[in-house]
Each structure stands twice: as structure tokens, then as C-alpha cells.
């Protein structure tokens, strides 16, 4: 793919390494540039890196009305060697295309997606934050742009990638376990629906659940399947728990659960790297809660790119009663998994072959206009 560069004037770009001294927010800041590519007449055309800024969009664009949109979330890290390494973005590229297949958005070759991300990381490399726990959050997304009110797939799309220099997802850091609301009032996904696709509409549909969770002092709902029998996942994290026998369980991926790359990484690392057996199974919610009560389950939490690993300290119910997990603090297995994953991401531990993608330095003279 031949990327066209239309960069900001040198003087208007970040000139020095990004050394924030205060806490960095998550997802608020932007870098100087973004990647864009359009789908017109059945082809992806004009891949380009341009200044970050507003997009021109017809008010009748399909995505604005019928939510034909898919997105991804990944992270890149500044290592001690001064280079930027993106974590498993080939998996994100494959998943973007699976999500696209679910809502009739045309695929983008995975190699082109990876090249788009790495090229943007190279151009904006000075934005990689030098800060413990910080990263460059990567947001690729595709949306239908055809100006048409018929309910049908758009004939045109835009693929965009931008970057957000971010601190840890939870301002309190990994020290504060979260609370989840267990309720039968809301469901995130239904069989035959879009739960396994990373599409914006799923998130619009989860906002009220998140709002009610907050009213209960919880950070999100722990969603159950539509029969209220099995644990599925939280808003933007897969769920997991650890048994007293020392096994980590993740609900089996179904068509109503988003296949988390963080979960897949934990499954691939397994006992050899994590010191705990890892497997998937259907998790009946009543049995789960009984086991938390009896102490047979000692730890629980969530997996997702943003927070990497979140510990669940307690579950809260509609009647405001609460159930603590273990002693309510972060358990040893949860901590071990967090340290293994973040260690690999930050280059402090050896990464399995192919998990890190180096943003190669391209001589700036190789970019027209520089």
C-alpha cells in the first residue's frame, strides 16, 4: 500500500518527547495526525496520513442514522530502547474484518491495516508518553458514509486510525478493584445479533445499563445471557474468575461474547507463563455466586485492552446487597496475570513470537513534503 503523506508543517508538530508530569487521562488527548482511506466503487483508495481534525460528512451518512460502524482498540508502548512496539495488532486487524463481515462492511487487507497503524505510529512517535503505565492507545474504525436514508449497507466507507496518548484506564491505577452490578434488567447481546462484533451500536445499547450500574456504585453491569443462566461479559471486558483450586476460567466465547484479544493472550500464555491453569467453560451465574459466597472462588475480574486486567472486588445486586470476592482486594493470580501481560507489552518480559510490532523509523526525507 502506497501511503500519501500530507503532514502538518514541522513547526506545528510535536518537536520533543512527550514527558507529562501529571496524570494522563485515558482517551482524551490526540496526536498530530490520523490515517484515512476511502472505499469508493468497490475499492479502497487514497491511503493517506493527514493532520488530525474534523471530517467532512454528509448529514445523511448511513453511519449517523443506522450505526453501520465497526471499531478496534489496541495499544503501543515506548520501550526502554526508545522504539515503539504495538501489541498484537494483527489480531485487531483480523477482528475488524470479522466485525465488518457481521455488518456488511467490506474487508481491508490485514497487512494494510497493520501498515497504516505502524506508519502513523512512526510519524507521531514523539507522542508516545514516557510515563509508568502509559501507552499510545490506537483506535481504528470504519463507517458508512453514503448519503442515503434507505436501510441498506452504505456504498461508501471511510477507514480512519487515530492515536490517543493515554494514562492507565482507571485513574486510581491497578490498586482499586471495581464493582459490577448483577441484574436481569439488561442484556447486551442476543443469539443471532451483533454481540460478537465490535460495532458502535452495541455500545449505544449498553449506555443505560452502564448508567444504572453507576447509580448502584458499580462501574458496569455483568451481563448474563438472554436466559439469565450464564455469565457473559461486562461492558467492554470479558469476565474471568479464579478458583481456590488455582484455575482461571473465562466464559466460552459464544456468538454473544466479544472475543477479547486480552483473554486470548491469557489463554495462549497459560500455566507455563502465568502459574495458573487457564481454560474456558460456560459459567452458570447462580453456581458462580454460591462459589463466591462459599470461598470456592477467590478472585474475579475482567480482561480488555483499555484496563488490561481489572480486579472485581464485589458484585452488587438490584436490591443493593453486595457480595465480596475473597477479601475484596486484588488477589495473587490476578496480579500475576496483570504483571505478565503488561511486562510483555512494555518489553520487560520476553514476548511470544509475533506479539509485538515494531514501528520502524522511516527517514523523514522518504516522506514527500518533509
Q: Which residues bind ligand PLP (CB under 6 A)?
A: 73, 198, 233, 236-238, 258, 260-262, 303-305
C-alpha 361: how far from chain center: 26
Whether the Cβ atoms of residue 183 and residue 235 lie closer than 8 Å to each other? no
Return the bridge partners of 322, or none. Answer: 316
Nearer residue to ligand PLP within complex by CB, 152 or 211 = 211
- Report the nearest approach of ligand PLP to the CB of residue 202 (Å): 6
Whether the Cβ atoms of residue 189 and residue 171 lie closer than 8 Å to each other? no
- Report the nearest approach of ligand PLP to the CB of residue 60 (Å): 27
Q: How many CA atoms lie within 13 A of 325 on its CB side?
A: 26
Nearer residue to ligand PLP within complex by CB, 39 or 137 = 137
Closest CA to 242 of 175, 172, 330, 122: 330
Evaluate the CA torsion angle 113, 8, 356, 265 in order and state its sign: negative
- Report the nearest approach of ligand PLP to the CB of residue 72 (Å): 8
- Report the nearest approach of ligand PLP to the CB of residue 63 (Å): 17
- Report the nearest approach of ligand PLP to the CB of residue 110 (Å): 15
Q: State the DSSP string of 20-33.
A: --SPPPSS----SE
Q: How far apart are CA 213 and CA 312, in angstroms?
A: 14
Return the bridge partners of 202, or none. Answer: none
Nearer residue to ligand PLP within complex by CB, 301 or 304 = 304
Nearer residue to ligand PLP within complex by CB, 155 or 280 = 280
Nearer residue to ligand PLP within complex by CB, 198 or 273 = 198
Nearer residue to ligand PLP within complex by CB, 123 or 134 = 134
- Report the nearest approach of ligand PLP to the CB of residue 74 (Å): 8
- Report the nearest approach of ligand PLP to the CB of residue 222 (Å): 12
Q: State the DSSP string of 82-110.
A: S-EEEESHHHHHHHHHHHHHHTTPPP--H
Whether the Cβ atoms of residue 234 and residue 179 lie closer than 8 Å to each other? no
- Report the nearest approach of ligand PLP to the CB of residue 341 (Å): 10
Query: Residue 338 corresponds to which cell in the numbers above?
Result: 496483570
Nearer residue to ligand PLP within complex by CB, 32 or 72 = 72
Q: Which residues of 253-286 are buried (b: 16+ CB within 10 A; e: fewer)?
A: beebbbebbbbbbbbebeeebbebebeeeebebe
Nearer residue to ligand PLP within complex by CB, 123 or 221 = 221
Amino acid at each position: 500500500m502506497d501511503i500519501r503523506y500530507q503532514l502538518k508543517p514541522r513547526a506545528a508538530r510535536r518537536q520533543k518527547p512527550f514527558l507529562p508530569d501529571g496524570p494522563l487521562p485515558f482517551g482524551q488527548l490526540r496526536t498530530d495526525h490520523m490515517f484515512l482511506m476511502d472505499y469508493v466503487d468497490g475499492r479502497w483508495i487514497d491511503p493517506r496520513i493527514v493532520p488530525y481534525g474534523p471530517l467532512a460528512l454528509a448529514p445523511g451518512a448511513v453511519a449517523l442514522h443506522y450505526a453501520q460502524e465497526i471499531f478496534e482498540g489496541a495499544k503501543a508502548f515506548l520501550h526502554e530502547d526508545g522504539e515503539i512496539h504495538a501489541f498484537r495488532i494483527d489480531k485487531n486487524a483480523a477482528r475488524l474484518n470479522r466485525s465488518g463481515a457481521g455488518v456488511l462492511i467490506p474487508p481491508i487487507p490485514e497487512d494494510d491495516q497493520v501498515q497504516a497503524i505502524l506508519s502513523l505510529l512512526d510519524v507521531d512517535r514523539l507522542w508516545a508518553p514516557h510515563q509508568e503505565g502509559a501507552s499510545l492507545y490506537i483506535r481504528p474504525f470504519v463507517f458508512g458514509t453514503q448519503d442515503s436514508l434507505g436501510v441498506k449497507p452504505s456504498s461508501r466507507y471511510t477507514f480512519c486510525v487515530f492515536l490517543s496518548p493515554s494514562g492507565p484506564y482507571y485513574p486510581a491505577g491497578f490498586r482499586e478493584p471495581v464493582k459490577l452490578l448483577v441484574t436481569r434488567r439488561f442484556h447486551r447481546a442476543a443469539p443471532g445479533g451483533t454481540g460478537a462484533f465490535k460495532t458502535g451500536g452495541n455500545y449505544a445499547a449498553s449506555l443505560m445499563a452502564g448508567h444504572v450500574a453507576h447509580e448502584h456504585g458499580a462501574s458496569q453491569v455483568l451481563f448474563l445471557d438472554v436466559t439469565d443462566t450464564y455469565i457473559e461479559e461486562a461492558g467492554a471486558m470479558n469476565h474471568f474468575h479464579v478458583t481456590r483450586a488455582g484455575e482461571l476460567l473465562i466464559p466460552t466465547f459464544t456468538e454473544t461474547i466479544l472475543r477479547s484479544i486480552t483473554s486470548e493472550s491469557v489463554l495462549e500464555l497459560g500455566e507455563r507463563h502465568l502459574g495458573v491453569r487457564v481454560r474456558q467453560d460456560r459459567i452458570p451465574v447462580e453456581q458462580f455466586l454460591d462459589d463466591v459466597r462459599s470461598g470456592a472462588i477467590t478472585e474475579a475480574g475482567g480482561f480488555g485492552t483499555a484496563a488490561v486486567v481489572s480486579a472485581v472486588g464485589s458484585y452488587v445486586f438490584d436490591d443493593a446487597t453486595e457480595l465480596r470476592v475473597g477479601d475484596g482486594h486484588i488477589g495473587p493470580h490476578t496480579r500475576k496475570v496483570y504483571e505478565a501481560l503488561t511486562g510483555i507489552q512494555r518489553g520487560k518480559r520476553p514476548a511470544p513470537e509475533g506479539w509485538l510490532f515494531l514501528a520502524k523509523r522511516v527517514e523523514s526525507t522518504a516522506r514527500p513534503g518533509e
